[in-house]
Amino acid sequence: MSHFFKGVCPGPWGSGQEMNVKTWTIADLIDLEYFLSRDEEQDDSSAAKRDRRIYLLAVEPRISSEETSAGDFRRRAVRIWLEERRKLYRKQHGRDAALPGEVFFEARSLVAVIIGIIGLFTGAGAAFSLLVYTGEEPVNVSVYLGILVFLQILGLLMMVRFVFLKTSLSAVRRYSLVYALMSRLLERMAVRLARSALAPVSGGKKTEARELSGAIRSMYGVYGHVLFWPVFSLVQLFGVLFNAGAIGATLIRVMTADLAFGWQSTLQMSSQSVHTLVRVLAAPWSWLLGEYAYPSLAQIEGSRIVLKEGIASLSTASLVSWWPFLVAAVVFYGLLPRMVLLGVSLAGKRRSLARLNFMHASCERLMMRMQSPTVSTQGLPGSPGLSETQQAEAKVEFEPFPLKHTDAAILVPEDIYRHCDRADLERHLKSLLGWGIAYLFPIAGEMTEDRSSIDAAVQTHSANGGAAVLIQEAWQPPIIEIIRVIRELRSRGGKEMRIAVLLIGKPGADTIFTAVKPEDREIWSKVLANLGDPYLRVVAVGEQ
C-alpha cells in the first residue's frame, strides 16, 4: 500500500534526492512531533549527545550562521535534524519501516479517494433523481435549481463566517459539523493505518500506536492553523466531484433521453419575474453562450406548468430551452467556486507552513540540546546515519550558534524571594533555557494577590521574544493555585507566549538552587502535562 501511494501521489520521500531544508510538509510535522515525543521518554544525556552530533556534523556545515536570520536558522536546523532522525530510524528498523508522517500521508490519500468517489456518485445520483421524466409531467426547474444551485450558494455564503474566525482546526471543529466529522475521520484513519504499519516494527506493541495517536492529536495545539487546510481541501474536493457528477449526469440524461423542463411555484410569480431572475443568474456566462445562456421571456411563458391543464399546450422548443441554463448554473455556482476554494486551500497550506516558527516547548528543548557546547575536547565518535565525509570534516571544538536572546520575567514565591541570588538564577536560566532576566516579581500563590505581578510579567512579553518563568519548590506538590497562576499567565500572555516552570530542590544553607529529585520532577511534569500547553516547559535544577 505504501508503494502504491508513493506511485500515484508524490510524497515527501518519492524523489530520492536530498530534501529541501527550507520547506515543510504536514508529513514532516507529524514525524517531527513523533520523534520529539519519543525523546521525552529517552535519557536526556543520550539525546543531548545524539542531537549535538547532528548539529555539529549535519546542521552547522549546511547553514551559515552569519548569513541566516535566527528564525530562518531555527526552521532549517530543525528540518535537517528531522532528516537525520529519519535516517537513524530507518537504519535501526529497516528501509521499509513506516514512519508516522508517511502513514498519515497514505491515510489522507485514501480518504481523498473515498471522498472523491462518494462526491462523484452523490452528485450524479442527485441529478439523476431530479431528472426523472415519465412523459406526463416535465422536470421541475425550480427543484433542480433549489437543490443543485441555491443550496450550494447558501453553503458558500455560510463559509464566509470562517473569514471572521481564525483558520484553525480547533475553531472549525467547534463551529462546523462537517469539518468536525471530516477531521475526526482523518485522524482515526491515520491512527488505524499507523497501528497496522508499526506492528511489524514494534513487534505488535500497542504502546507505539498509542504514542502515535497522542502525537497526532497533540499537534492541534501547535499546528491547528496548518491542519485546518487538509480538512478544508477534502471538503472542497467533495464539492468539486459532487458538481462534476451532477453536470455529467445532467448531460448524459439530456443526450440519451427526450427531456422536457418546466417551472411552477406556489408563489405568485409572473413570467417576467422569472425571466429577470434567470437573466441575473446567467450574467456570468451570458457573454459566452449568447442566446442559449438562458430562456427568453417567450420560452419561459411557454414552459410554465399548470397542473390542471397538463403539458399538451406547452411548446416543445420552450420545454427543452432550459437545460443549457441549468448546466451552466451548476458549473458557475457549484463547480468553479469549489475549484477556486480548492486552490485557496493549497495556497493557504503553503502559507501557513511557511509561517511556522517552531518556538513551542519541544523545539525549544531540541535547540538547547543541539546548541549546548560539549564538554569533551576529544574527537567526536562516529555518528550513525551521518555520512563519513561529514564525520571526517568535524572539528574538535565548536562554538554553538547563539540562541535567540530572550529576557524573561521571573515570578518567585515570596518566602524564597529574598534568598534568590540574581547571578545564580541567571546562570541556571541560561544553562536550562537559554534565557536571561528582565524583571523579578514576588508572588504569594493566591490569584487575588498575584494579579498585579502577573500583569507586570505579561507586559514584558512581546512579539520579539519575551517569556515568563515561574520558580517552584519541586518537593512541594503542585497545588491548584499554582495551576491557576499558569493558566492566568497563558490567558493574558496569549497562546504562544513562552512560559517555563523552574523547579528547585529544598533550599540549602548557601543557595536555594539545589538539585531536584527525579521523582519530584516526574510528578510536576505529569500534572502540568495535563494542561495540554505546547508552549509550557518544565525544567529542574540539576538537569543536564
pLDDT of 332 reads 95
pLDDT of 161 reads 62
Q: What is the pLDDT averaged over residues 317-343?
A: 91
- Residues 320-348 as b or e (16 or more Cβ within 10 Å = b): bbbbbbbbbbbbbbbbebbbebbeebeeb
pLDDT-derived band at 114, boundaries 50, 70, 90: very high
pLDDT tens readout for residues 355-366 = 888 888 888 888
pLDDT of 17 reads 38
pLDDT of 202 reads 46
Note the Cα 433 to chain centre separation in Å: 27
pLDDT-derived band at 534, boundaries 50, 70, 90: confident
pLDDT of 308 reads 56
The CATH number of 407-540, from 3.40.50, 1.10.260, 3.30.70, 1.10.3470, is 3.40.50
DSSP string, 333-348: IIIHHHHHHHHHHHHH
SS3 for 503?
strand
DSSP label at residue 263:
B
The cell for 174 is 467547534
Q: Are 373 and 402 in contact (CB under 8 A)?
A: no
Q: How far is the CA of 186 from the CAs of 88, 162, 234, in angstroms?
A: 28, 21, 10
Does 162 score more than 70 pLDDT? no
Q: How far is the CA of 425 from the CAs of 410, 420, 542, in angstroms?
A: 10, 7, 13
pLDDT of 12 reads 39
Rg (alpha carbons) of the chain, rounded to whole number:
31
- Closest to 231 measured CA to CA, from 338, 121, 122, 108: 108
The domain ranges of the chain are 25-98+363-371, 102-354, 407-540
Q: What is the mean pLDDT of the chain?
A: 77
Q: How far is the CA of 281 from the CAs of 103, 276, 284, in angstroms?
A: 45, 9, 7
| Range in 42-51, 275-284, 393-402 with the lowest mean pLDDT | 393-402
Q: What percent of the chain has pLDDT over 70?
A: 73
Residue with the three cell numbers 572539528: 395
Look up residue 73 and give its amino acid: F
Q: What is the pLDDT averaged over residues 115-133?
A: 93
pLDDT-derived band at 379, boundaries 50, 70, 90: very low
SS3 for 157?
helix
pLDDT of 248 reads 95
pLDDT-derived band at 66, boundaries 50, 70, 90: low
pLDDT of 460 reads 63
pLDDT of 251 reads 94
pLDDT-derived band at 527, boundaries 50, 70, 90: confident
Does 200 score more than 60 pLDDT? no
Q: Is the dihedral of CA 34, 38, 44, 48 positive or negative?
A: negative
pLDDT of 334 reads 93
pLDDT tens readout for residues 244-279 = 999 999 999 989 888 888 887 666 678 888 889 999
Q: How far is the CA of 543 from the CAs of 189, 428, 521, in angstroms?
A: 39, 10, 10
Does 45 score more than 70 pLDDT? yes
Beta partners for residue 437, in sequence order: 408
Q: Are 446 and 386 in contact (CB under 8 A)?
A: no
pLDDT tens readout for residues 273-294 = 888 999 999 999 988 888 888 8
pLDDT tens readout for residues 509-523 = 788 888 988 888 888
Q: How far is the CA of 520 from the CAs of 201, 363, 476, in angstroms?
A: 34, 24, 8
Q: What is the pLDDT averaged over residues 173-198?
A: 56
pLDDT tens readout for residues 217-239 = 556 667 877 878 888 899 899 99
pLDDT tens readout for residues 402-411 = 444 577 888 8
- Closest to 398 measured CA to CA, from 61, 73, 47: 61
Most confident of 38-47, 94-103, 281-290: 281-290
pLDDT of 535 reads 85
Does 540 score more than 60 pLDDT? yes
Most confident of 14-23, 333-342, 498-507: 333-342
pLDDT-derived band at 382, boundaries 50, 70, 90: very low
DSSP string, 297-340: HHHHHTTB-BTTTBSTTS-HHHHTSSHHHHHHHHIIIIIHHHHH
Beta partners for residue 467, in sequence order: 408, 498
Does 148 score more than 90 pLDDT? yes
Beta partners for residue 439, in sequence order: 409
Rounded to 5°, angle at Cα 34 from 367 and 187 = 135
Give me the long-range contacts of 173-178 (CB less than 8 A, separation at least 24). 178/235
The cell for 348 is 493557504
More confident residue, 310 or 116: 116
Does 207 score more than 50 pLDDT? no
Most confident of 134-138, 221-225, 381-385, 498-502: 498-502
pLDDT of 459 reads 76
pLDDT-derived band at 81, boundaries 50, 70, 90: very high
Q: How far is the CA of 280 from the CAs of 277, 285, 294, 379, in angstroms?
A: 5, 10, 10, 78
